[in-house]
Structure 1
Amino acid sequence: MDPKDIEYFRNLLQKMLEEAQSKGEATLEDMNEMEIFADPADRATVESDRTFTLRLRERERYLIKKIQEALQRIEEGEYGMCEDCGEEIGVPRLKARPVTTLCIHCKSKQETEENLRGE
């Protein structure tokens, strides 16, 4: 992968990281708001929404970790290399999933094996 592509992905990952972190901060601010409800159904709805939001934020926290790992691979010169077969991951695949560690062939193989095991 040429240096121009590496810089593109570094910037993309950095932007993704900043967006995910700012969403997490906004969620914390929203969670600090105390509300009083006369109707238990309203409270249940708000609690359900908060639970859903927290699940989304948990997924973003996992994504933040993957973004940080991808940025580390860039620094180490390993970004864009498949961790299974060692081949270069194609730029179109990286554009679709910048945090990926598997080429399309190895990812397809992994998914097929998971489906066979019923995961």
Structure 2
Amino acid sequence: MSSVENLIEYRPSDDEPFMNSRQREYFRAKLNGWREDILRESRETLDSLQEESTNHPDMADRASSESDRSLELRTRDRQRKLIAKIDSALKRIDDNTYGYCEETGEPIGLARLDARPIATLSLEAQEMHERHEKVYRDE
């Protein structure tokens, strides 16, 4: 069985030391896979946008096409920002700060990292941050 297959079957557990080498490799593989999926989708989107004919004689077709193109470009911009967050998480794995809250220094938690591998805040710090934002947004 290859190391990639081992990582696919492996699930981080609270019964082992937090952010041990196996957990770091698990999250590295997860982040790299996510990054590759986004880049592949982005290439497919670019290909389809380039293939699409931009010469629509009907105004409704042109408007629909421009609306679709605008949505695709916004999606690509969000994906570009997500790639930057993934790259940042990979850098944190390399410097052994991955998995620890940027505000408290406490472990973020394996379940949260598995669900959102780019997380930089523990659930408690994230909730506090969101409450703080809501207070200022409501004023």
- Unmatched runs of 5 consecutive residues or more in structure 2: 1-17
Q: Which has the higher contact order (CA 8 A, sep 6+)?
A: 1
Q: Which runs of 4+ in 1 moved over 4 A?
A: none
- Corresponding residue for 2:14? none
| Map of 1:77 onto structure 2 | 96
> Do residues 14 (structure 1) and 32 (structure 2) align?
yes
3-state SS of 2:44 partner: helix
Compute the displacement of 1:34 (Å): 4.8
Q: Give the distance between the partners of 2:110 and 2:21, measured in 1 at CA.
A: 13
Pairs aligned (count)? 119
Separation in structure 2 between the aligned mates of residue 93 and residue 37 of structure 1, nearest angstrom: 47
How far did residue 38 of structure 1 move?
2.1
Decide which structure has the larger Cα Rg and report it.
2
Aligned twin of 1:27: 45
RMSD: 1.2
User: Structure 1, unaligned stretches of length 5 or more?
Assistant: none
TM-score of the two chains, using structure 2 as the length reference: 0.81
